[in-house]
Structure 1
């Protein structure tokens, strides 16, 4: 069995996928051949992504595998990677991002030790870095105040998450069988499925290890990127779909044993609801207002007690004030968060 399966969803990624793949190949410290890189060509047609994937497989047999499928979106590519994975652990790396070699050295050492144990750590977490290459700036997102360092721990030992300290796909490495056992399957042809990936499996996680290392480098700057404001508005229906799936997938608090995990997941869902409200108010239309009422009504019907707690948080109260002033407040809150958290 491999130690880690790295899945790289690729869709017309020829211009930047090489950097990503090269950074992962450097994680095979000691040339043990105990990693695998699953390049998932998600129906690329506009460039030579498919040919590049095959060439990487030819150059690194036994380590790199090219998987070709009809276009199904980011979720379908992650699903394919998980289906083909033979590693004890599973890590998704987007094709325009890369891993830091120095940070991965200590993380790989730990994962290799865990792979030899009967009960390995369920979830390994590390820092990620927003790389705004065109601006020449970077912002490190860490969890030093949240997680113990230097040892395995449980949810009951976790500290307080700050407003910008959500777990993202960038920061997590799951045990592969945990993802399979919880039945994780991401929707196809839908953006923002990374939220499902880092949310739905959490109640199944019993043990965690945090590395205060800047493992993942998250590239920001392409015009078509899914965190671009105009792009996010155009995909607001997909944001709504993902949020509904998250509401349906975990029943808070019944599905969660730890009170601290329950609080974190409640805050995460609250953030998702806030994003839905904000992006449905970027343009003032009757259709947007109807959809905003519907998503809140969906949460209220599914979990009335949770709805009351989330709806009455300061941020969600402010972004849902039913006036033009409320709409402007929501937009102000979004752009303020943009500057503070550097996410766009």
Structure 2
């Protein structure tokens, strides 16, 4: 068994996938051959992504596997990676991002130790870095105030998450069998499924380990990137779909044993509801207003108690004030959040 399987979803990624792959190859410290790289070509047609994937497999046949499939979106590519993974752990690395070699030295050392144990840690967390290459700027997202360091711990031992400290796909490495045992399957032809990937397995996580190293470098700034504001608005229906799946997948608080985890997941879902509301107010149309009312009705029907708690938070109360002034308030809050959290 490999120590870790790295899945790289690729869709017309030829211009930047090499840097990503090279950064992962560098993680095989000591040349043990215990890492696996799954390059998932998700129906690329506009460039030579497929040929590049095959060439990488030819060069590293014991490490790299090229997987070709019809286009199904980011979620389908992650599903394919998980289905083919042979590693004890599973890590998704998007094709325009990369891993930090120095940080991964510590991460790999821990993962290798866990592979020697019968009961290995369920979830490993490390920092990620927003790389705004075109601006020459970067922002490091750390969890020093949230998690103990140097030992395995449980949810009950965690501290308080600040507003900008949500766990993203970039910061997590899950035990592969945990993802399979909880039946994780991401929807196809849908963006923003990374929220599902991180959120849905959390109640199944019993043990956690945090390394205060800057593991993942998250490139941000391409015009076609899924977190670009104009792109996000055009895909608001997919944001709604992802949020509904999150509502349906975990029933709070019944499905969660830890109060601290319950609070974190409630706050995460509250953030998702706020994002839905704000993007449906970027343009004032009857359809957007109907969709905004519908997503809140969906939450109320699915979980009335949670609806009341989330709807009456300051964030969601302010973003849903039913007037033109309320709409302007929501958009102002969004642009402030952009500057504070550096997310696009």
TM-score class normalised by the smaller sequence: over 0.9
Q: CA deviation at 1:309?
A: 0.3
* Helix, strand or coil at the partner of 1:134: helix
Q: Does 1:51 find its partner at 2:51?
A: yes
Deviations 1:210-233 (A, max 9, x none): 000000000011000000000000
Q: Which residue of 1 aligns with 2:11?
A: 11
* Equivalences for residues 323-334 of structure 1 within 5 A: 323-334=323-334
Q: Which residue of 2 aligns with 1:318?
A: 318
Q: CA deviation at 1:30?
A: 0.2
Structure 2 gap ranges (5+): none
CA distance in 2, matches of 1:106, 1:235: 38
CA distance in 2, matches of 1:145, 1:72: 38
* Equivalences for residues 17-56 of structure 1 within 5 A: 17-56=17-56
CA distance in 2, matches of 1:269, 1:239: 12
Q: Which residue of 1 aligns with 2:155?
A: 155
Q: CA deviation at 1:131?
A: 0.1
Q: Which residue of 1 aligns with 2:97?
A: 97
* Helix, strand or coil at the partner of 2:47: coil
Deviations 1:213-260 (A, max 9, x none): 000000011000000000000000000000000000000000000000
* Helix, strand or coil at the partner of 2:211: strand
* Helix, strand or coil at the partner of 2:226: coil
Q: Does 1:219 find its partner at 2:226?
A: no
* Helix, strand or coil at the partner of 1:27: coil
Q: Does 1:198 find its partner at 2:188?
A: no
RMSD in angstroms over aligned alpha carbons? 0.3
Q: Which residue of 2 aligns with 1:278?
A: 278
Q: CA deviation at 1:98?
A: 0.1
Q: Does 1:306 find its partner at 2:306?
A: yes
* Equivalences for residues 237-252 of structure 1 within 5 A: 237-252=237-252
Normalising by structure 1, we get a TM-score of 1.00
CA distance in 2, matches of 1:60, 1:252: 45
CA distance in 1, matches of 2:60, 2:291: 49
CA distance in 1, matches of 2:313, 2:191: 26
Q: Does 1:71 find its partner at 2:71?
A: yes
* Helix, strand or coil at the partner of 2:135: coil
* Equivalences for residues 132-211 of structure 1 within 5 A: 132-211=132-211
CA distance in 2, matches of 1:135, 1:213: 23
Structure 1 gap ranges (5+): none
Q: CA deviation at 1:189?
A: 0.1
Deviations 1:275-297 (A, max 9, x none): 00000000000000000000000
Q: Which residue of 2 aligns with 1:254?
A: 254
CA distance in 2, matches of 1:32, 1:187: 35
Q: CA deviation at 1:116?
A: 1.2
Deviations 1:302-329 (A, max 9, x none): 0000000000000100000000010001
* Helix, strand or coil at the partner of 1:315: helix
Deviations 1:69-96 (A, max 9, x none): 0000000000000000000000000000
CA distance in 2, matches of 1:143, 1:128: 10
CA distance in 1, matches of 2:167, 2:338: 17
* Helix, strand or coil at the partner of 2:275: helix
* Helix, strand or coil at the partner of 1:152: coil
CA distance in 2, matches of 1:333, 1:3: 43
Q: Which residue of 1 aligns with 2:229?
A: 229
Deviations 1:47-81 (A, max 9, x none): 00000000000000110000000000000000000
Structure 1 residue ranges, 4+ long, deviating more than 3 angstroms after superposition: none
Q: Which residue of 1 aligns with 2:124?
A: 124
